Amino acid sequence: MSFFKKLKDKVNKQTDQVTDKFKDGLTKTRDSFTTKVNDLVAKYRKVDEEFFEELEEILISADVGVETVMELIEELEMEVKRRNIQDTEEVKEVISEKLVEIYYGDDDEETVEALNIQKDGLSVILIVGVNGVGKTTTIGKLAHQLKQEGKSVVLAAGDTFRAGAIDQLDVWGERAGVDVIKHNEGSDPAAVIYDGIQAARSRGADVLLCDTAGRLQNKVNLMKELSKVRKVIEREIPEAPHETLLVLDATTGQNAISQAKTFKEATDVSGIVLTKLDGTARGGIVLAIRNEMNIPVKYVGLGEQITDLQPFNAHQLVYGLFGDLMTRVEQEEK
């Protein structure tokens, strides 16, 4: 069975709604990346060194990241030689196959992207990231999604430094229909999170989502504050936080990777939420973050609606990029 057929089978196990969201959300990346790949394939009759050099440039322009691109090109060259592929058209399928392989590596495809929610007791999820990346919006959307799954959710307004952050979270709490634990602006964030844990416990909640500051006077102060918040959580619930999700803006490209490195140094980031993926032609940043940081992308933002935060899936990503090509291949085979 060809990789395209296997990929389609995997994607078909999920809902059409999810597949459509990924396809629609990746329109800008697909129009840019796939068009360039198609032009490249039309330009070269055979697979040679020049073909791979141009493919390398296309991948780098999609923000796949130099390190990841070099690894991918090396894998592609080996696979093309192994299969004795001469026709450039056949390379498209190998590209899609290697993109999925590089994303997952040795990890279990079924579990690496799943959110770590406890079967019994309270799950504490810490949300971190700089201001402006869509952190508060992400918390609201995630609260809505968890509630739709039958979970009872409480929010803790731990960003007490940014003017309006508490009010903004309040609005999202109302929209998602969940309680928000808050103090006054300028209060100690760790105290807010502590109260959030007590309130969530007393109400028998399943999940506590904790907002945090995105900027203080300087980076050192911010990282110290996050460390203090983590200590309070660990003291109350030894195995928590069960997830620390770093929110990054996909439209910032390589800057998102430098943010990830900074936060990974200060706090144990377990997953990435990549917002505004629908607003960029550089969707390859997903692969760069995963491969260079060894942190899985757990959610992606594919629009403005409350339902547009989607659990990430590398098969859906690759299908979103190559889906039109697969349909064409199937028609030709018939």
Which amino acids are annotated as binding site, given as ranges?
A: 129-136, 211-215, 275-278
**Long-range Cβ contact pairs of 53-61 (< 8 A, separation 24 or more):** 55/91, 55/95, 58/33, 59/284, 61/32, 61/36, 61/282
Q: State how far the Cα of 56 lies from the Cα of 154, in Å rounded to an integer.
A: 46
Can you tell me the distance from the alpha carbon of 312 to that of 115, in angstroms, rounded to the nearest whole number? 10
* Three-state secondary-structure class, residue 113: coil
Query: H or E stretch including 180?
Result: strand 179-181
Per DSSP, the three-state class of 245 is strand
- Could you give the CA distance from residue 211 to residue 125 in angstroms, rounded to a whole number? 9
Positive or negative: CA dihedral 215, 217, 219, 223: negative
Residues in the annotated binding site for GTP: 129-136, 211-215, 275-278
CA 138-141-145 angle, to 5 degrees, is 135
